Structure 1
Amino acid sequence: MAGHNELGKNGENQAAAYLEAQGYVIRHRNWRSGKKELDLVAEKDGELVVVEVKTRQNLNYGLPQEAVGERKIRRIVDSTDAYLRKFGLDLPVRFDIITLTGNEAPFHIEHIRDAFLPPVW
């Protein structure tokens, strides 16, 4: 596995562990709907929390959350809609981003709650 893929996998593992330590229940990791993917789907206090995880070695190319643009948001929202339909869920949904910075664990973790809202089409 390429180094950046390994870094991303380690970041997702740390993000999931962080959420569980905060009382979230991880429902799915890397859930796919066709070619679209949700990094982490969690639940806490009757709310479905869809988490996009971004891991970077450093901030040389900007903040990790800056990589979540309009196109990525639309893909996440479309995948979330498919997820809700597939599992017959009627829960409020929140979209978070967890950023991790560093070369290996322990990473610097930032949890951005309500990072974005679904766009209006």
Structure 2
Amino acid sequence: MKPDGPAHLVAGRRAEDEALAYLQAHGLKLIERNYRCRQGEIDLVMEEGNGLVFVEVRYRADPRYGSALESVGGRKRTRLIAAASHYLATHRADRPARFDVIGLQPEDGKISTQWIKNAFSAF
């Protein structure tokens, strides 16, 4: 990818690329990337078995402000739940769903990846 946008957008896109590759290596299948609606955005909509997985990808270049995983607060969860509800309604998806969070941050010259399955619930 060419660095052709603001640095935080380029870093965010690279983090999503890393998270997507990580999840696919663990057997999840991509359904949709950057699903947007009035209620919010879902970074990755994945499939695992017969269920849907709504994935929030977080990247933190500097852990002084908290980890990537800690950055998914109540307000963000509310928007993710609303966007997921919209997705389920508009796609007539009547199957199990969960919310996962993938946190990426630099550690010892590499990117450290943490995956929290069922990070929070709404359904």
Give the number of the structure whose residues are more often strand, by fraction. Answer: 2
Measured in 2, the distance between the counterparts of 1:45 and 1:16 equals 17
* Displacement after TM superposition at 1:7 (Å): 0.8
Q: Which moved more, 1:27-36 or 1:44-53?
A: 27-36
Matched, 1:21 2:31: no
The alignment status of 1:118 with 2:105, answered yes or no, reads: no
SS of match in other structure, 2:64: coil
Cross-structure match for 2:10: 6
* Greater RCO, 1 or 2 (C-alpha within 8 Å, sep 6+): 1
Query: In the aligned structure 2, how far is the partner of 1:38 from the partner of 1:55?
Result: 15
Post-superposition offset of 1:106? 5.0
* Alignment partner of 1:71 is 2:75: yes
Kindly state the Cα deviation for residue 27 of structure 1 after the two structures are TM-superposed: 0.5
Q: Count how many residue pairs are aligned between Structure 1 and Structure 2.
A: 118
Q: Say yes or no: does 1:100 pair with 2:81.
A: no
Q: 2:88 aligns with which of 84, 88, 94?
A: 84
Query: Is the deviation greater in 94-103 or in 66-75?
Result: 94-103
Provide the rounded CA distance (Å) in 2 between the counterparts of 1:2 and 1:68. Answer: 22
5+ long unaligned stretches in structure 1: none
TM-score for both structures, normalised by structure 2: 0.89
Cross-structure match for 2:64 = 60
Shift of 1:58: 2.7
- Equivalent position SS for 2:87: helix
> Which residue among 24, 27, 31 is the counterpart of 2:35?
31
Matched position secondary structure for 1:107: strand
